[in-house]
């Protein structure tokens, strides 16, 4: 069965750092783009970042560019999101998703991990 499991969320002070991870199983990891999508409390969905199968194409939302870094380890079927200089507005549930390598639709979502930025 296909699974994406996020971990690493927690409470962090403004200006702090956090590293999220996503463990994939049940599918050929190197055939898919992997993405992070977040949802602030009571709000809608916001795309954060995407990485292609061989890591040659990486994209970020303007709101996180320069502060967040996405990376993947194809040998371990895992994905990371290093988040630095965190702000209150980064508080959200962060979902790991997989998407088709060419058509980009996100067909599998993890259950999410919660990041709270607060002093």
Partner 1 sequence: DIVMTQSPLSLPVTPGEPASISCRSSQSLLHSSGYNFLDWFLQKPGQSPQLLIYLGSNRASGVPDRFSGNASGTDFTLKISRVEAEDVGVYYCMQVLQTPYTFGQGTKLEMK
Residues found near partner 1 in the complex (CB under 8 A): 37, 44-47, 50, 59, 61-62, 95, 99-100, 102-107, 109-112
Q: Kindly tell me which of 12 and 113 has the beta carbon lying closer to partner 1.
A: 113
| Nearest-approach distance from CB 56 to partner 1, in angstroms | 15
Q: Kindly tell me which of 65 and 76 has the beta carbon lying closer to partner 1.
A: 65
Q: Which residues of 37-71 are buried (b: 16+ CB within 10 A; e: fewer)?
A: bbeeeeeeeeebbbbebeeeeeebeeebeeebebe
Q: Which residues of 83-99 are buried (b: 16+ CB within 10 A; e: fewer)?
A: beebeeebbbbbbbbbb
Q: Kindly tell me which of 16 and 104 has the beta carbon lying closer to partner 1.
A: 104
| Nearest-approach distance from CB 68 to partner 1, in angstroms | 13
């Amino acid at each position: 069965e296909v699974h994406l499991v996020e971990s690493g969320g927690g409470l962090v002070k403004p200006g702090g750092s956090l590293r999220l991870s996503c463990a994939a199983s049940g599918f050929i990891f190197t055939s898919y783009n992997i993405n992070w999508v977040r949802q602030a409390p009571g709000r809608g969905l916001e795309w954060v970042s995407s990485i292609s199968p061989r890591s040659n194409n990486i994209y970020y939302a303007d709101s996180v560019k320069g502060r967040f870094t996405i990376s993947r380890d194809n040998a371990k079927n895992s994905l990371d999101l290093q988040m630095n200089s965190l702000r209150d507005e980064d508080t959200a549930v962060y979902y790991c998703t997989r998407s088709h390598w060419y058509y980009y639709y996100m067909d599998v979502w993890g259950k999410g991990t919660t990041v709270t930025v607060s002093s």
